[in-house]
């Protein structure tokens, strides 16, 4: 089945794109997570979202959820690892599953933190962003997962079935130090320390942490959003952001982007507004193909 529009991201940009595409009767698929967006949930009080003065992030999330449910929009709880432009459609890969869509809207948000030293240098040379995709490369090898969200625990468990040794370095807030018994396979060694640098020669061979070093063959950095270039090969970027024009067109025909992933200000209402522009221009693009 080929969708008219695939929307990647369930924050305000992706959801606004989804409701506008749905109003225009397009056949859409939205990828994200049940929580909608960690950045929504984390805000204690929001003062700049028109009509909802001083609302908490959780309450705004609930309003967004009720809105999309009323319009029968479902979120597919899957991470898209790669988007390939195939000419007249796009192939979206999630692990070993593939989805097809005529247009794509990237609404993936942005990681606020800087990459770890060595992360970009060794990307594809031992550093990866999707453990479930690349796991076979690490059969009987030593790997570290640097996990920025709770979902990274699942990737660690998956990898531990294949690798000879799996280290898990939790980077997200939790109460107290993490132990191996906390939802992780007992074979996984948890390291409660901060990574400083990923080292290697041609390939990764070591992770330096504040208090120790560990020898590894691979490192997976699991964040909410991957860098645009690793998600969509060939897409033009400006620093950490996807380059777009005023209509939210990216450098790839049929591929649009909106929200934090295209630049500052990082804000809910700007993201929602850009999601609408992206969706309406994707609709116009689809209508021209008829």
Closest distance to ligand FAD from the beta carbon of 206 (Å): 28
Closest to 248 (Cα-Cα) out of 112, 39, 103, 110: 103
Of positions 31, 122, 256, 285, contacts ligand FAD by CB under 6 A = 31
Task: Output the six-digit token pair for 251.
Answer: 């450098």
User: Beta partners for 83?
Assistant: 92
| Residue 207 binds ligand FAD (CB under 6 A) | no
In the range 236-255, which residues lie near ligand FAD by CB under 6 A? none
Closest distance to ligand FAD from the beta carbon of 42 (Å): 4
| Residue 40 binds ligand FAD (CB under 6 A) | yes
Q: State the DSSP code for 188.
A: P
Query: With b meaning 16 or more CB within 10 Å and e meaning fewer, what string describes 49-64?
Result: beeeeebebeebbeeb
Neighbours of 111 (CB within 10 A): 17
Binding to ligand FAD by CB under 6 A, coded x per residue (else -) over 126-155, reads ------------------------------
Of positions 130, 259, 278, 282, contacts ligand FAD by CB under 6 A = 259
Q: What are the CA-CA distances from residue 221 to residues 47, 77, 115, 183 (Å)? A: 33, 20, 9, 19
Helices H, strands E: what count in the chain?
Answer: 7, 17
Closest to 219 (Cα-Cα) out of 197, 240, 201, 202: 197
| Residue 108 binds ligand FAD (CB under 6 A) | yes
* Binding residue count for ligand FAD, defined by CB under 6 A: 33
| Residue 228 binds ligand FAD (CB under 6 A) | no
Contact of 106 with 255, CB cutoff 8 Å: yes
Per CB under 6 A, the segment of 10-18, 132-140, 162-170, 240-248 that binds ligand FAD is 10-18
| Residue 61 binds ligand FAD (CB under 6 A) | no
Q: Report the distance separating Cα 249 and Cα 243, nearest Å.
A: 8
Of positions 122, 168, 268, 285, contacts ligand FAD by CB under 6 A = 268
Of positions 39, 152, 184, 221, contacts ligand FAD by CB under 6 A = 39
Of positions 21, 28, 29, 80, contacts ligand FAD by CB under 6 A = 80
Q: Report the distance separating Cα 98 and Cα 118, nearest Å.
A: 31
CB nearer to ligand FAD: pick between 68 and 80: 80
| Residue 14 binds ligand FAD (CB under 6 A) | yes
Q: Report the distance separating Cα 13 and Cα 17, nearest Å.
A: 6
Closest distance to ligand FAD from the beta carbon of 30 (Å): 9
Site residues for ligand FAD per CB under 6 A = 8-14, 31-33, 37, 39-40, 42-43, 46, 48, 79-80, 107-109, 224-226, 231, 259-260, 266-269, 271
């Amino acid at each position: 089945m080929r969708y008219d529009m695939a929307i990647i991201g369930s924050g305000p940009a992706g959801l606004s794109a989804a409701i506008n595409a749905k109003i225009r009767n397009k056949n859409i698929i939205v990828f994200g997570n049940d929580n909608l967006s960690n950045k929504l949930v984390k805000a204690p009080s929001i003062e700049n979202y028109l009509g909802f003065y001083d609302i908490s992030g959780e309450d705004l999330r609930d309003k967004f959820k009720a809105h999309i449910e009323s319009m029968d929009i479902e979120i597919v709880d899957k991470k898209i690892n790669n988007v390939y432009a195939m000419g007249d459609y796009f192939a979206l890969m999630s692990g070993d599953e593939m989805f097809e869509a005529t247009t794509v809207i990237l609404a993936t948000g942005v990681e606020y933190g800087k990459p770890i030293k060595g992360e970009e240098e060794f990307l594809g040379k031992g550093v990866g962003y999707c453990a479930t995709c690349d796991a076979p490369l690490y059969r009987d090898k030593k790997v570290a997962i640097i996990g920025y969200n709770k979902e990274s625990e699942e990737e660690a468990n998956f990898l531990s079935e294949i690798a000879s040794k799996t280290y898990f370095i939790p980077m997200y807030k939790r109460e107290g130090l993490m132990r191996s018994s906390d939802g992780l396979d007992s074979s996984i060694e948890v390291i409660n320390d901060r990574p400083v640098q990923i080292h290697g020669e041609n390939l990764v061979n070591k992770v330096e942490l504040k208090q120790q070093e560990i020898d590894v063959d691979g490192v997976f950095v699991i964040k909410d959003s991957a860098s645009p270039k690793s998600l969509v090969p060939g897409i033009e970027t400006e620093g950490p952001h996807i380059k777009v024009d005023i209509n939210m067109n990216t450098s790839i025909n049929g591929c649009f982007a909106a929200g934090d992933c295209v630049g500052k200000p990082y804000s809910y209402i700007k993201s929602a507004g850009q999601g609408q522009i992206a969706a309406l221009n994707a609709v116009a693009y689809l209508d021209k193909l008829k």
